[in-house]
Amino acid sequence: MSEDTKKTVNPLWGGRFVAGPSAVMARINPSIGFDRRLWAEDIEGSKAHCAMLVAQGIIPASDGKAILEGLDRVAAEITEGRFTFRDDLEDIHMNIEARLAELIGVAAGRLHTARSRNDQVATDLRLWTRAACERIDAELAGLQAALIDQAERHAGTVMPGFTHLQPAQPVTFGHHLLAYVEMVGRDRGRVADACRRLDECPLGAAALAGTSFPIDRAATARALGFARPCANSMDAVADRDFVVEVLATAALAATHLSRLAEELVLWASPAYGFVTLPEALTSGSSMMPQKRNPDAAELVRGKAGRVSGALIATLTVLKGLALTYGKDMQEDKEPLFDAVETLLLCLAASREMIAGLEARPAAMRAACAAGYLTATDLADWLVRAAGLPFRQAHHAVGRLVRLAEAEGVGLDGLSLSAMQAVEPAITEAARAVLTVEASVASRSSLGGTAPARVAEAARAARARYLGGGA
């Protein structure tokens, strides 16, 4: 026997093995370095399983009492930082079980009756993911609240709206921010959907085929707050759809945050000057003393790729797996843990940036002078007042824009005679629609940018998403 294989045999399956793992196996196999964060869920699941075993007469009540008391002692040790996590015990489940055996003796061996690590880890991970969904939803709601607050404050603050990053039509800053409220609202809907679908308990599926013991799976599901047990024992241990769904939701939410971050980066630049970001969320330059860089926004933008990468990594792990469990599935946890924590951090940073930014209405209004933002309003006026078909009105206003560009003026800077030379139907009354204020005020259709509509939409969003008034 080589030195590499002269390792201690794992006490939980020593009956089958006579030699321990090689040095390489000892490095690649353990997951305790990252799955230790499931300790609370593991103990919660073990307590529910133990109580069920006692209630069903599968293990003696005295052993059940010792197990529950021992699990409380293990939890206290972990909470107080006195627990020793051992790589040779591979994962959090075996670390806890081994320590339980040290504390209460042979009774600890009864805890794993009618249970496998396969259904155990699936249960632990569902519990952790369910709690993660609640944390994500709370942060998403916090971002919505910050956006709605600013939208109400700036329901009438005029700014350029863009398509293709080119000036398009005037909108209000509040209207722009409410677009993100809707994006985040859909993210919250996806979180709720994912949480609803993961609300099934794998415990009792055992390794893959169920168990011959007279267990009560409904009881353990209720004890752990699940709606029901998983219907099929093989699917219960093989399923990681809930991980993928949460990662997909996280990736899309991070993409939304990245889009918002990109706009904050642009708006905070001197070329735009639309907002000033909170100083505490920016940084300076080691060389250029004048710099104030939007680092928090840039990092939110950058970390979106990390969250999307977690989704792709997990899909790739799962795509070739036959039923039921393979050790490949150990690779589901690090991407999930990292993506959730990354998203939560980005949400917190985004909320603080939005809550603390200062809008610069004068700069926004000045930017509306470029790009002929009221061109569509003039075309609409020709349709309403002169009865022109819209396409004819569109062509006429396009020619007027070319003329204004040549003269270096806005549309409202053209003389009436110059405009009538292009389109005789234009009258002096048309000038009333050429201000940006008139333009935004006229966009009063449902979901439009008219300040009154924006204020109304902000109130409705607060009620719909946050459950009431300010």
CA distances from 184 to 137, 276, 347, 446 (A): 10, 23, 10, 20
> What tokens appear for 235 in the block?
């699917």
CA dihedral 286, 287, 290, 295 (to 10 degrees): -40
Distances (CA, A) of 300 to 55, 157, 267, 423: 50, 26, 16, 49
pLDDT at residue 333, as a whole number? 97
| Phi, psi values for residue 228, rounded to 5° | -165, 165
Per the omega criterion (within 30 degrees of 0), is the bond before 324 cis? yes
Bridge partner list, 229: 201
- Output the pLDDT for position 5: 41
Q: How far apart are CA 402 and CA 395, in angstroms?
A: 11
Q: Encode the chain (470 residues) as per-residue pLDDT tens digits.
A: 344 444 555 655 556 666 778 889 889 889 999 999 999 999 999 999 999 999 999 999 999 999 999 999 999 999 999 999 999 999 999 999 999 999 999 999 999 999 999 999 999 999 999 999 999 999 999 999 999 999 999 999 999 999 999 999 999 999 999 999 999 999 999 999 999 999 999 999 999 999 999 999 999 999 999 999 999 999 999 999 999 999 999 999 999 999 999 999 999 999 999 999 999 999 988 888 888 899 999 999 999 999 999 999 999 999 999 999 999 999 999 999 999 999 999 999 999 999 999 999 999 999 999 999 999 999 999 999 999 999 999 999 999 999 999 999 999 999 999 999 999 999 999 999 999 999 999 999 999 999 999 999 999 999 999 996 54
CA dist., res. 180 & res. 315, Å (int):
28
Of 307, 316, 187, give the one whose Cα is nearest residue 240: 316
Own/partner pairs for 361-365, CB < 8 Å, 24+ apart? 361/154, 361/157, 361/158, 361/173, 363/272, 363/273, 363/274, 364/157, 364/158, 364/159, 364/160, 364/173, 364/274, 365/158, 365/159, 365/436
CB atoms within 10 A of CB 134: 11
- The alpha-helical segments, DSSP class H, found in 232-373 are 233-238, 241-268, 295-318, 333-356, 361-367
Residue 268 contacts residue 281 (beta carbons within 8 Å): no
Q: What is the DSSP letter of 330?
A: G
8 Å CB contact between 284 and 293: yes
Supply φ then ψ for residue 12, to 5 degrees.
-85, -15
Residues 89/95, Cβ–Cβ less than 8 Å: yes
Q: Convert 196-218 to b/e letters by CB count within 10 Å (16 or more is b).
A: eebebbbbbbbbbebbeeebbbe
Residues 6+ apart with CB under 8 A from 229: 200, 201, 202, 203, 204, 217, 218, 220, 221, 236
Residue 35 and residue 86 in contact, taking contact as beta carbons nearer than 8 Å = no
Which of these, 59, 225, 23, 206, lies nearest to 126 by C-alpha position? 225
What's the pLDDT at 10?
61
CA–CA distance, 31 with 22 (Å, rounded to integer):
16
What is the pLDDT at residue 305? 97
How far is Cα 186 from Cα 445, in angstroms, rounded to an integer?
Answer: 22
pLDDT at 291: 86
Closest CA to 221 of 131, 123, 130: 123
End-to-end alpha carbon distance in the chain: 72
The torsion angle over the Cα atoms of residues 317, 321, 326 and 330, rounded to 10 degrees, is 20
d(Cα 313, Cα 336) in Å, to the nearest integer?
10
Please report the DSSP string for 108-121 in residue order.
Answer: GGGTTTT--HHHHH
Q: Which residues are known catalytic residues?
A: 164, 285
Closest CA to 45 of 199, 165, 220, 163: 220
pLDDT in the model for residue 3: 43
For 317-329, give one letter per residue: b (16+ CB within 10 A) or e: bbeeeeebbeeeb
